[in-house]
Every structure is written in structure tokens, then in C-alpha cells.
Structure 1
């Protein structure tokens, strides 16, 4: 892939937000090829398994010709080497992101001196947005519309949909006694 300027945009993307999509679009204007690299992140306790995150991102970026989506479970610098990236793309929403990103950039430079890091800022409308906030909004019954791509919105709604109440039955009333009265109603469990 000589001569092809490739940027790798790594992250957990749990879930992929409109801020991530905005950065991906910006990167696609700067690079010949952008590889969105989705981390397994087993220690983070993700909401969606890596395969689902990859599929959602592929669906969200399907109209972006220069974008590919891969998964990885090792060091970002190794992933960058495998995909032939010369530059790692990182997003900076606010000054509060800078210290962490600066430390990570220095460590990655130590591990792979030839890999450059490019910091991109999202559109102002997404500077407050992060995956944790999106999950919290959805978990508490708020609408993720406008915060995430449509495919992600649908998955979040399905994940956090309230369970429908069990039909009322006379035998289940506390006055009726019986085992059914003592059992709590079924509640949809949250996947971790």
C-alpha cells in the first residue's frame, strides 16, 4: 500500500456515537484510507460484544468509501502496523481529554516511533458527547436520537426496552396465596 495515506482510529466505541462518526468523516477527508479499529476491551465490561460494535460501525459508515472497520485485541500500535497506518487518529472534545491523550500519544510514540498521532476536534455540537453518557441516557429511558447513528439508536432501544408487565391473573394476587403470588414478576435482564 505504498503511497496510500492511512489513518487508524482506535477505540472501544461502546457505543459508536455521532461524535465518533463526525471524527470518522473528518478523517476520511484527510486520509486516503481510514481504519476504524474496534478494541475488544475485556476489562471494560462493554455493553455490546465486539462483533456487534463492528457491525454497527460498518452500517453507520457504509456510505464512506474510504473507511474500513476491523477489530483488535492487542496494542494499538500493533493494529496500526497490521493495517499499514502511518497515523493514529484521536479525538479531543475538551481540554479535559488532553492530559490522558497526551500521555497515550507519548507511550505510543515510545512503542512505535514512526507512528504519528493526529488529534481531531469534533463539530461543536458533539463536544460534550461520550459513550458513557449515551448509555446512561438510554438506560434511564431517555432517547438516544441525535446522539448516535440510527443503527446504534435501534440497538440501544432494544437493549434498554422496558419489559412488558405480565398479564394480571387472579391466581397471582397476594390474596390468592399460592406460589405465583410470592414470585416477583419477570424482569428483562441487562446483558453485560
Structure 2
């Protein structure tokens, strides 16, 4: 049976830290489906199309990575995508407390859906989407934080 993991997030933006989790997840799973979720309560800094372009650019040579957009409960979408696992990255204990609660609820929504946590690589731990968004809003070049340059999407 194919081992598929669903890696959900707003990915606003999708950073090198996220890419690292996907790359490491591919050592554990046959396929990783990256789900770009939409939260109606939040306004995106980067459009879904731009982030999908960054993700596809970073993984264009690997057919084991798929990208989907979704507007439903993460657990339900994971099930619809054929995933038995949710893949999540943890930078610190604060992330764990938050993610642990969500993992418990997801298991109640979809029986047998397991969450697999990967600890962020130390050199990437300081990178957060919030910080990268703020840097970008102030005109700072964020190329060092993204796995695929925004400039290539515009050419």
C-alpha cells in the first residue's frame, strides 16, 4: 500500500524550512501532498498561485510531490487525497503544544490518521513565514529564505 503524507499549511510563504520537511518526509513516505490551505479569516501576503509556483519550482523534478489547494478541514482533505499521515514540522516546544492538540482532533475526525512530526533542521529553525512576510513587506530581499526564487516566476 502506498504511503502518502499530507503536509498542510497556509505556506504564506513556503520557506526553505518547509522544503526541508518535505525532502525529509520523502525518505519516509512514497508521496507527499502539499496542501495549501485557505483561512478566510486571514488575508494572504503572497497569492496561492505564487506559492504554488514556488513549491512546484522547488520540486518540479520529483513526481512524488503534489500540490493541492483546499478550503475544508485538513483531516478530511488528507483522507480525500489518500493520505494516512499528516506531516508536520516542529521548530520548538511552542509548536509542539499547538500541533499536538490539532493532531488529537484530526485523529478524532478521521480514524487512523496519524500525525508525524519532524524536528526542524537547526540551521532552518529561526525561519518562520511570519518573519519572512514582514521582511518582504519592508522591501528586504527574501531569496535566502525561499527554496525557489520569486523572480523566476515572473520571467
Q: TM-score, normalised by structure 2?
A: 0.92
- 1:122 is displaced (CA, Å) by 2.1
Q: CA deviation at 1:53?
A: 2.0
Count matched residues. 154
Gap regions ≥5 residues in structure 1: 159-192
Distance 2:50 2:139 in 1: 22
Query: Whose radius of gyration is greater, 1 or 2?
Result: 1
Alpha-carbon displacement from aligned partner over 1:145-176 (angstroms, at most 9, x marks no partner): 32112334x38xx8xxxxxxxxxxxxxxxxxx
Give yes or no for the alignment of 1:83 onto 2:81: yes
Kindly indicate whether residue 134 of structure 2 is the aligned counterpart of residue 141 of structure 1.
Answer: no
Deviation digits for residues 54-89 of structure 1 (CA, Å, limit 9, x no counterpart):
222111211233111111110011111111001000
Unaligned residue ranges in structure 2 (runs of 5+): none
CA separation of 1:21 and 1:4: change in aligned 2, threshold 3 A: same
Bigger relative contact order, structure 1 or 2 (CA pairs below 8 A, ≥6 apart): 2
Matched residues in 2 for 1:59 and 1:100: separation?
Answer: 30
Matches within 5 A, 1:1-192: 3-152=1-150, 154=151
Q: TM-score, normalised by structure 1?
A: 0.75
Matched residue of 1:141: which SS?
coil
Residue 130 of structure 1 and its aligned partner are, at CA, apart by 0.9
How far off is 1:50 after superposition? Answer: 2.1
Contact 1:8 1:36 in 2 (8 A): yes
8 Å contact 1:6–1:84 — kept in the other structure? yes
